[in-house]
Homo-oligomer: A and B are copies of this chain.
Amino acid sequence: MGLEIYFMEKVKVALFGFGTIGTGVAKILFNHADRITQATGRTVELVKICDKDITTRRDIELPSGVLCTDAESVFSDPEIKIGIELIGGLEPARTFVLRLLENGKDVVTANKALIAQHGNELFATARKFGRTIAFEAAVCGGIPILSALSTALQANTLQSINAIVNGTSNYILSQMESGKTSYRDAVLQAQKLGYAEANPAMDVDGTDAVQKLTILAQLGFGANVSWQSVPRLGIESIESIDFRYAKELGYRIKLLAVAECSSGGLELHVSPTLVKGDNPLARVRDAFNAVRIVGDSVGSVFFQGLGAGQLPTASAVLGDVIDTILGRTAITFRTLNLWDSAKPSIAIKSPDEFFGKSYLRFSVQDQPGVMHEISGVLGGLGISIASMIQHEPENKTNTKSTVLILTTHEAREGDLLEAIIRLEQLPALLGKIVRLRVQN
Q: Which residues of A contact B (CB under 8 A)?
A: 24, 28, 32, 35-36, 39-41, 136, 142-144, 147-148, 151-157, 280, 283, 295-306, 309, 311-312, 314-316, 318-319, 321-323, 326-328, 331-332, 335
Check A155/B315 contact, CB under 8 A, given A41-B335, A326-B331, A335-B39.
yes
Check A322/B144 contact, CB under 8 A, given A297-B312, A306-B298, A328-B332.
no
11 contacting pairs across A/B (C-beta < 8 A): A144-B144, A151-B323, A152-B316, A154-B322, A280-B280, A283-B283, A297-B312, A301-B303, A301-B304, A302-B305, A328-B331
CB distance A297 to B311 under 8 Å?
A: yes
CA distance A10 to B338 in the complex (A): 23
Q: Which residues of B contact A41 (CB under 8 A)?
A: 335
Q: Which residues of B contact A318 (CB under 8 A)?
A: 154-155, 297
Check A297/B147 contact, CB under 8 A, given A304-B280, A331-B326.
no
A235 vs chain B, min Cβ distance (A): 23
A238 vs chain B, min Cβ distance (A): 24
CB distance A297 to B283 under 8 Å?
A: no
Residue of B nearest to A336 (CB): B39
Residue of B nearest to A154 (CB): B39
CB distance B297 to A155 under 8 Å?
A: no
Residue of B nearest to A326 (CB): B331
CB distance B144 to A152 under 8 Å?
A: yes
Kindly name the residue among A136, A154, A311 whose own CB sees the greatest number of chain B CB atoms within 10 A.
Answer: A154
CA distance A142 to B321 in the complex (A): 26
Partner of A153, one of B157, B302, B306, B319: B319
CB distance A151 to B319 under 8 Å?
A: yes
Q: Which residues of B contact A32 (CB under 8 A)?
A: 155, 157
CB distance B155 to A151 under 8 Å?
A: no
Residue of B nearest to A295 (CB): B315
CA distance A283 to B301 in the complex (A): 14
CA distance A323 to B331 in the complex (A): 9
Residue of B nearest to A283 (CB): B283
Check A335/B154 contact, CB under 8 A, given A283-B280, A297-B28, A304-B302.
no
CB distance A299 to B311 under 8 Å?
A: yes
Residue of B nearest to A296 (CB): B311
CB distance B322 to A331 under 8 Å?
A: no
Partner of A144, one of B24, B151, B326, B332: B151
A195 vs chain B, min Cβ distance (A): 14
CB distance A328 to B151 under 8 Å?
A: yes
Partner of A311, one of B28, B298, B314: B298
Kindly name the residue among A142, A280, A314 whose own CB sees the greatest number of chain B CB atoms within 10 A.
Answer: A142
A164 vs chain B, min Cβ distance (A): 13
Q: Which residues of B contact A332 (CB under 8 A)?
A: 326, 328
CA distance A45 to B327 in the complex (A): 26
CB distance A298 to B305 under 8 Å?
A: yes
5 smallest CB-CB distances across A and B, nearest first, come from A144-B152, A155-B318, A142-B298, A297-B315, A301-B305
CB distance B155 to A144 under 8 Å?
A: no
Partner of A297, one of B142, B143, B154, B299: B142
CB distance B299 to A142 under 8 Å?
A: yes
CA distance A328 to B334 in the complex (A): 12
CA distance A156 to B142 in the complex (A): 10
Q: Which residues of B contact A335 (CB under 8 A)?
A: 39-41, 326
Residue of B nearest to A323 (CB): B151
Partner of A299, one of B28, B306, B328: B306
A309 vs chain B, min Cβ distance (A): 8
A220 vs chain B, min Cβ distance (A): 13
CA distance A302 to B319 in the complex (A): 17
Q: Which residues of B contact A296 (CB under 8 A)?
A: 311
CB distance A152 to B147 under 8 Å?
A: yes
Q: Which residues of B contact A301 (CB under 8 A)?
A: 142-144, 303-306
Beyond known contacts A297-B311, A301-B303, A301-B305: 10 more, CB 8 A cutoff: A36-B155, A39-B154, A142-B299, A144-B144, A148-B148, A154-B322, A280-B283, A298-B311, A299-B309, A301-B306
